[in-house]
Amino acid sequence: MTAKIIDGKEVAKATRKALKQRIKALAERGIVPGLATVLVGEDPASVTYVGSKARACGKLKMYSEVIERPKTISQQELVDIVEGLNGNDKIHGILVQSPLPKHMDETAVTLTIRPDKDVDGFHPHNVGLMLMGRPGLLPCTPNGIMKLLQAYEIDPSGKEVVVVGRSNIVGKPVAALLVQKAPGANATVTIAHSRTANLANVTLRADILIAAIGRPHTITGDMIREGAVVIDVGVNRVDDPEAERGYRLVGDVDFAAASEIASFITPVPGGVGPMTIAMLMHNTVTAAEKIHGVA
């Protein structure tokens, strides 16, 4: 068996196309969806992500504002920036890029963001709505995973899903979305993690296996059930002297081995990653519609 590739770039492209109609409708009312991204420090990966988000806004003719500050700023200074954005009518979405410097309390900063501008979907208000199955701003990567499954007509209903990873960013929320009593969900979900005993015994039960543990090639071929759907969320840099940049990106799954066993698989890069940014744009447009009473 050779797995069919789940092309995140194509699904993200279709998502952006659908967003253009909503953005046009807002423009006719004099509304331009606006995203503000706050970058503290100069972490190379964060700088790259922030640049990608700003470019995505530009392509969709959305307003983008990037606020850069040195890692030496105080938490209060960062809170003041967020509070200013809360009251800025041009801004409908606020994103504070993670990770923050160690001297900052990331949760406290998240709590400062207005829930209706929380396009990361991390505020407890939005997390609560998600758990209750109520409409709200959903975390971008988990929602992107759900959209990928939907695009490839992979129905989790009645299936056993194993999520490897328990972060608040991916593992917990994607499990919460999959277990909902709703179309595109209704799965039986197990969360495994670094302390799970006999991890392979757990992953081999999965009809759908989601790897979000943040370690390269943690999921090997012998840990995957024949015909399973494999969603690889990991983006890990590994040294490669033959690569132009001196490194290459790999996922949490051994792609070469897994693709001979799985029925569907996401590549790294080009799988889940493009959907994360697409869903951020989706959340920003949704926030603009709700703030202005359009939807």
Angle at 167 between CA 97 and CA 198, to 5 degrees: 150
| pLDDT above 90: residue 240 | no
Contact 132, 180 (CB under 8 A): no
The whole-angstrom separation of Cα 189 and Cα 293 is 36
> What is the largest distance, in Å, between two alpha-carbon atoms of the chain?
57
Q: What is the pLDDT of residue 190?
A: 98
> What average pLDDT does this structure show over 71-97?
97
Q: What is the CATH number of domain 30-114?
A: 3.40.50.10860
Residue 94, token pair as written in the block? 């606020």
Sign of CA dihedral 182, 123, 20, 150: negative
DSSP, residue by residue, 180-222:
SSSTT---EEEEE-TT-TTHHHHHTT-SEEEE-SSSTT-B-GG
> What average pLDDT does this structure show over 116-128?
97
Catalytic status, residue 120: yes
The whole-angstrom separation of Cα 187 and Cα 182 is 10
Which residue in 118, 120, 207, 254 is the catalytic one? Answer: 120
Q: What is the pLDDT of residue 111?
A: 97
Q: Assess whether the region 30-114 and the region 140-273 belong to the same CATH fold.
A: yes
* Sequence-distant (≥ 6) Cβ neighbours of residue 174 within 8 angstroms: 141, 142, 145, 146, 163, 210, 212
Catalytic status, residue 240: no
C-alpha dist (Å) from residue 100 to 52, 107, 165:
19, 10, 21
Domain ranges for the chain: 30-114, 140-273
Predicted TM-score (pTM) above 0.75? yes
Q: Does domain 140-273 have CATH number 3.40.50.300?
A: no
Residue 285, token pair as written in the block? 């447009």
The whole-angstrom separation of Cα 93 and Cα 91 is 6
Catalytic status, residue 89: no
Which residue in 97, 117, 207, 252 is the catalytic one? Answer: 97
Q: What is the pLDDT of residue 168?
A: 95
For 36-72, what is each residue's pLDDT tens digit?
A: 999 999 888 888 888 999 999 999 999 999 999 999 9
The whole-angstrom separation of Cα 94 and Cα 96 is 7
69 or 238, higher pLDDT: 69
| pLDDT above 80: residue 295 | no
124 pLDDT tier (thresholds 50, 70, 90): very high
